[in-house]
């Protein structure tokens, strides 16, 4: 039976969609990876602040961005659950991400955390030569992770996460050589807080390549650096500002017409690729700078009951061209809270942008009266 894939959802659209509007110039050279869902914000608070999280105040979702923050939570334990529908503007149904983060403080100096992410990519339909549907398939990606964080002093801490990644994008009906991909990665992070200032740095997704049957693909290893400023206006009102820089630790794609460079790109080891990613862009230093993504975020909080948030995310037009404003709000009462975020794309063709009208909804549960023992 001759099977044909009639509906294909490619997850990289989430990150690279805007390139299609300007690809005619031939100068675009974005860094592409497998399992790009690992680069997506996992909660509404972060998404509302321009995807900024490495240096913001900690919460139940800290392990996804900077695990070192976890031990600085004021509560003994907490749980965060987030739902995000994706690509609604493309009229593609059942594409969504669900994430769950949780932490538990063993003491004032130590904490452990768990995380889960599942990215559902809708439904594939397979038809025979007459167009009759004979089977369907639901591809998905998932990541399961565990973390440990420890204070080095009252002001600083470190974190380590271990992550298992499973990616199932098709089945043998498409290609008999295809198989689901698996990978393992780790995060290393640092957090420092002093008075009104926070500083954070995180190396995330440091791990193996992932293979689906052909050449193994890089996963999105990343370096994040961020600073946040927190100001108590008075006893009831607080405001925070944060800035963050991200750089993928993945080789820049070479000239596809140069067979030797393509072979070198495919055969490069992952550890070597992390270091070479700072100087391998064909355009030299200027192109390397274009690979740095910028995030800006702000948060206003009233009595720790109500929050307003806004942010901006920017990526160079030659490296993916994701540029958007974000807004959001949050409500909290006793041990529970709810956060909402909304994305507004900027630039050309915003009405056709696949990220238009993206929202996230998060639920948070924290136990504050059970103080961790020292």
Distance in angstroms (rounded) separating the CA atoms of residues 15 and 189: 24
Lowest mean pLDDT among 142-151, 238-247, 265-274: 265-274
- Per-residue pLDDT, 131: 74
Measure Cα distances from 322 to 101, 156, 312, 335 in Å. Answer: 26, 33, 10, 36
Q: Is the pLDDT of residue 361 over 50?
A: yes
Q: Is the dihedral of CA 205, 138, 12, 5 positive or negative?
A: positive
Contact 343, 360 (CB under 8 A): no
Q: How many CB atoms lie within 10 A of CB 274?
A: 19
What are the tens digits of pLDDT across the range 339-357? 999 999 987 666 556 677 7
pLDDT band at 300 (very low <50, low <70, confident <90, very high): very high
Q: How many CB atoms lie within 10 A of CB 234?
A: 6
pLDDT band at 374 (very low <50, low <70, confident <90, very high): very low
pLDDT band at 4 (very low <50, low <70, confident <90, very high): very low
User: Burial of 348 by CB count in 10 Å (0-12 exposed, 13-18 middle, 19+ buried)?
Assistant: middle
- Per-residue pLDDT, 334: 84
Fold (topology level) of 4-367: Porin (2.40.160)
pTM: 0.88
Q: Is the pLDDT of residue 366 over 90?
A: no
Q: State the average pLDDT over residues 248-261.
A: 88
Instruction: For residue 24, give the 3-state DSSP assignment.
Output: helix
Q: Which residues contact 97 (CB under 8 A, 6 or more apart)?
A: 37, 40, 42, 82, 83, 84, 86, 117, 118, 119, 120
pLDDT band at 104 (very low <50, low <70, confident <90, very high): very high
- Per-residue pLDDT, 89: 64
The torsion defined by the Cα of 264, 291, 356 and 324, in degrees rounded to 10, comes to 170
Distance in angstroms (rounded) separating the CA atoms of residues 64 and 247: 16
- Per-residue pLDDT, 83: 95
- Per-residue pLDDT, 2: 38
C-alpha Rg value of the chain to the nearest Å: 21
Distance in angstroms (rounded) separating the CA atoms of residues 232 and 301: 10
Distance in angstroms (rounded) separating the CA atoms of residues 374 and 371: 9
pLDDT band at 130 (very low <50, low <70, confident <90, very high): confident
User: Burial of 173 by CB count in 10 Å (0-12 exposed, 13-18 middle, 19+ buried)?
Assistant: middle
Q: State the average pLDDT over residues 264-278.
A: 90
Q: Is the pLDDT of residue 18 over 60?
A: no
| Percent of residues, the chain, with pLDDT higher than 90 | 62
Contact 312, 325 (CB under 8 A): yes
- Per-residue pLDDT, 175: 57
Among the ranges 5-9, 86-90, 119-123, which has the highest mean pLDDT value?
Answer: 119-123
Measure Cα distances from 46 to 18, 183, 300, 348 in Å. Answer: 22, 26, 14, 25
Q: Is the pLDDT of residue 155 over 90?
A: yes
Q: Which residues contact 7 (CB under 8 A, 6 or more apart)?
A: 122, 123, 124, 125
Mean of per-residue pLDDT scores for the chain:
86
Q: Which residues contact 193 (CB under 8 A, 6 or more apart)?
A: 72, 155, 156, 199
- Per-residue pLDDT, 123: 78
- Per-residue pLDDT, 3: 39
Phi, psi of 77 (to 5 degrees): -155, 160
Q: Which residues contact 335 (CB under 8 A, 6 or more apart)?
A: 365, 366, 367, 368
What are the tens digits of pLDDT across the range 188-238? 999 999 999 999 999 999 999 998 877 899 999 999 999 999 999 999 999
Lowest mean pLDDT among 88-97, 144-153, 271-280, 289-298: 88-97
- Per-residue pLDDT, 140: 87
User: Burial of 194 by CB count in 10 Å (0-12 exposed, 13-18 middle, 19+ buried)?
Assistant: exposed
Contact 208, 225 (CB under 8 A): no
Distance in angstroms (rounded) separating the CA atoms of residues 253 and 247: 15
Contact 101, 62 (CB under 8 A): yes
Among the ranges 48-57, 126-135, 248-257, which has the highest mean pLDDT value?
Answer: 48-57
Residue ranges of domains in the chain:
4-367
Q: State the average pLDDT over residues 117-123.
A: 88
- Per-residue pLDDT, 107: 96
Distance in angstroms (rounded) separating the CA atoms of residues 142 and 165: 6
- Per-residue pLDDT, 353: 64
């Amino acid at each position: 039976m001759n099977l044909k894939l009639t509906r294909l959802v490619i997850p990289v659209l989430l990150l690279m969609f805007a390139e299609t509007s300007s690809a005619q110039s031939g100068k675009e050279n974005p860094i592409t990876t497998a399992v790009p869902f690992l680069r997506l914000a996992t909660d509404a608070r972060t998404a509302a602040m321009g995807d900024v999280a490495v240096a913001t105040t900690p919460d139940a979702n800290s392990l996804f961005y900077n695990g070192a923050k976890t031990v600085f939570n004021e509560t003994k334990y907490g749980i965060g659950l987030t739902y995000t529908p994706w690509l609604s503007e493309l009229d593609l149904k059942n594409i969504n991400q669900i994430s769950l983060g949780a932490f538990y403080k063993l003491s004032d100096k130590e904490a452990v955390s768990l995380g889960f992410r599942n990215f559902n990519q809708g439904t594939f339909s397979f038809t025979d030569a007459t167009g009759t549907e004979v089977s369907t398939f639901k591809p998905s990606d998932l990541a399961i992770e565990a973390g440990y964080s420890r204070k080095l002093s009252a002001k600083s801490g470190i974190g380590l996460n271990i992550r298992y990644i499973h990616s199932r994008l098709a089945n043998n009906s498409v290609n008999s050589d295809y198989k689901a991909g698996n990978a393992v990665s780790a995060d290393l992070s640092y957090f420092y807080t002093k008075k009104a200032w926070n500083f954070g740095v995180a190396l995330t997704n440091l791990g193996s390549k992932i293979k689906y049957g052909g050449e193994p693909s890089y996963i999105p290893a990343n370096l994040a650096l961020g600073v946040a400023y927190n100001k108590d206006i008075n006893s009831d009102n607080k405001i925070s500002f944060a800035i963050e820089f991200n750089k993928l630790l993945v080789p820049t794609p070479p000239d596809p017409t140069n067979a030797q460079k393509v072979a070198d790109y495919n055969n490069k080891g992952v550890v070597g690729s992390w270091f070479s990613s700072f100087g391998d862009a064909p355009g030299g230093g200027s192109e390397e700078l274009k690979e740095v993504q910028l995030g800006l975020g702000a948060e206003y909080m009233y009595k720790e009951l109500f929050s307003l948030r806004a942010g901006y995310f920017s990526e160079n037009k030659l490296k993916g061209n994701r540029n958007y404003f974000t807004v959001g709000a949050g409500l909290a009462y006793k041990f529970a809270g709810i956060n909402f975020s909304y994305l507004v794309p900027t630039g050309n063709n915003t009405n056709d942008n696949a990220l238009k009208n993206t929202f996230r909804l998060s639920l948070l549960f924290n136990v504050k009266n059970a103080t961790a023992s020292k």
